[in-house]
Chain A
Amino acid sequence: MLSERDFQISPIVQESMMHNTKALQNLQSLSASLFGISAGILGLESYSGFLFYIFFSLLTSFLIYLFRVAAAPNSSPKGYKDNKGTGNGLGSGVGGVKKYFRSGFEFWAGGIMNGFAGFVLTWTLFYGLVRA
């Protein structure tokens, strides 16, 4: 866990953090409603619906990781190494999620919490619409 002294040594840019979190939350709430629609069309019930949601949320996180974190252009100059031997200026080789988010948990599992209400809403709505 990072302490206050760590933040003094390597400060955090609040604006960038808010920007990233907002981008992620927009996507997550939108996609959660979308998953609700498909779960309703498929007619899933109880556990299978929740498993469907968890699976697709993780898939969304993985897609963001693929297109926005891993594929982001590395801005460091060629041959640049910081004191930990990594090229991204972070000193941590954990896939680069830490470059954009405070914790990896927030990135990978935050979507499951954020969009859950929207998912259940559209799930029940479309289940009722299709099977009425």
Chain B
Amino acid sequence: MTWISNTITVFGGLLLAHACYSAQEHAALQSFRAAATSTLTSSTPVASSLPVDIAIETIAATLVIVLGLVLGTRPLRPIQWRVWAGKIEREGEEGFLGNNGEVEKDYMGNPFTYLESRPSFVDIHRQRKEFAEWIKNGGGGTGKK
């Protein structure tokens, strides 16, 4: 998804640079003509307003860049605790993907995981069975789960 917003932004940047260059050239030409005519005749003020196509290009470029930037922002997160925690419960990491499809770095995980590891809820018998099997299989680092 990032490449879409990046492409749009770069395209808008090119348009804006072109518009800027055109406006600069136009201003230079205007001042040149004003200097040339003022030496020939008595000063005839030249209308130095920007040509309408440059103005349109500038505004279009601005809109395109803003669109690209907005598409590039990271997804927002709910601030209410119950909405946020509910989203984590339902979607897990899926709900906190960044623009590039990976889980965002500051995703902290489920705030209720500690409930799962409370001592009263630990299944000691199962853990002992798993440990015995692990020993039986050689106990190496690559034991089967």
Q: Give me the interface of A with B, judged by CB distance under 8 Å.
A: 10-13, 15-17, 19-20, 23-24, 26-27, 30-31, 34-35, 37-38, 41-43, 56, 59-60, 63-64, 67-69, 72, 75-77, 88-90, 99-102, 126, 129-132
Contact = CB atoms under 8 A, between A and B. Distances in A.
12 contacts: A10-B80, A12-B79, A13-B77, A19-B74, A34-B66, A38-B62, A42-B59, A67-B71, A75-B91, A89-B82, A130-B27, A132-B27
A30 B131 CA distance: 56
Contacts of A77: 90
B75 A72 contact: yes
Contacts of A56: 62, 66
> Helix, strand, loop or mixed for chain A's interface?
helix
In which size bucket is the chain B interface? Answer: 35 or more
A129 B78 contact: no
A23 B81 CA distance: 19
B78 A31 contact: no
Contacts, number: 120
A132 B70 CA distance: 33
Interface of B: 16, 19-20, 23-24, 27, 49-50, 54-55, 58-59, 61-63, 65-67, 69-71, 73-84, 86-87, 90-91, 95, 106, 108
A62 to B, nearest CB: 10
B73 A16 contact: no
